[in-house]
Amino acid sequence: MKKYFQFLLILSALSVIPFWGNAQCKNFAKKAKIDLLPFIHDGIYNATVLSEGETAELYKTFYSGQQYRIAVVAEETMPKVEFKVMDSKRKVLYSNKEKGFAKTWDFTLESSQQLIIAIQVQTVETLIDEIAKGCVTVLVGFMNEEDKIQK
């Protein structure tokens, strides 16, 4: 009976680990909100754990006439993160690789559309024992209409 209890305890501890990692990423994303200023965060935290060389995509609808900022932020221990913003036909509208791996991009669209935000963690050229792994977040902010009028 004691071995059965130990097995259940270990199994339940292991099942909590993925949720703890996701909670840490969400907390990281909340701290990264500062990169959106002076834009207002849309309230959605898109964060995940990625390793070097891994990619992820986020599909999001953006509306015409609204000024937006996309911020892609990774933990400091991570290699550079490339992000591309593409239209539904996968035509690249922006790539931060061409801008020195900038963390943010500000834009306004002429027509409402769904865009694809593709992120890729770059690989490290030096050989190390462990592959770099950490939280990467994609945050979207918009400019308040009242702020635009005051400027």
Whether the per-residue pLDDT at 15 is higher than 50: the answer is: no
Alpha helices in the chain (DSSP H): 2-32, 145-150
What pLDDT sits at residue 126?
A: 66
Q: What separation in angstroms does the CA of 46 have from each of 23, 61, 141?
A: 12, 14, 12
| Residue 122 backbone phi and psi in degrees, to 5 | -70, 155
Sketch out the chain's domains with CATH numbers: 2-150 (2.60.120.380)
Average pLDDT of the chain?
84
Whether the per-residue pLDDT at 97 is higher than 60: the answer is: yes
Q: How many residues does the chain have?
A: 151
Q: What is the pLDDT averaged over residues 63-91?
A: 96
Whether the per-residue pLDDT at 119 is higher than 80: the answer is: yes
**What does the alpha-carbon distance between residue 52 and residue 124 come to, in Å, rounded to a whole number?**
7
